[in-house]
Amino acid sequence: MAEDTFPGWHGTTIIGVKKGGEVVIAGDGQVSLGQTVIKGTARKVRRLKPGGHEVVAGFAGSTADAFTLLERLEAKLEATPGQLARASVELAKDWRTDKYLQKLEAMLIVTDGADLFVITGAGDVLEPEHDVTAIGSGGNFALAAARGMMDSDKSAEDIARAAMAIAADICVYTNGRLTVETIRG
């Protein structure tokens, strides 16, 4: 296919919810090419353990690009054990300045159970204001749904699951096959 007619990969909604001493990252399993679902069971939320410190990461965007970023994040975490904020900033700086990394098309949500960040290729390391963040095709739907539930009695996991169900009902690039990882601070 010519580059100007390539329908583009779509898919994934990733949400991070911090509440009650725990952080949950949940992601769906859909990968679409144009109007076709290529795979419905992709695993886009991973538990990492560099240097013995657990971190949970979820990614949206190109899978190969995301794995490259996860490998770089692991290396940064090994160099700065237990310092997620510092490792995230270092990754964002490299991503923004390195000519190879600049071409990567993905975003990450990462947490160590205490901090919750979104890392982008624009050099951003964003900490959500309301303890909830989301990325990907259905990210805005999931974010709005979760924000509406944050004052409820629901746990972080219940909020993440309910918000993802709402996003899956609205966004054609999001499905209900979730991977959910929980980590305590």
Catalytic sites, residue numbers: 12
C-alpha span between 139 and 151 (Å, rounded): 20
**Which tokens sit at 106?**
């993905």
CB 65 within 8 A of CB 105: yes
CB 180 within 8 A of CB 17: no
**Which tokens sit at 24?**
């949950």
In which element (H, E) is residue 163 found? helix 156-170
Angle at 41 between CA 71 and CA 6, to 5 degrees: 75
C-alpha span between 89 and 179 (Å, rounded): 26
Q: Comparing C-alpha atoms, which of 106, 102, 171 is closest to residue 143? A: 171
Three-state DSSP class for residue 114: coil
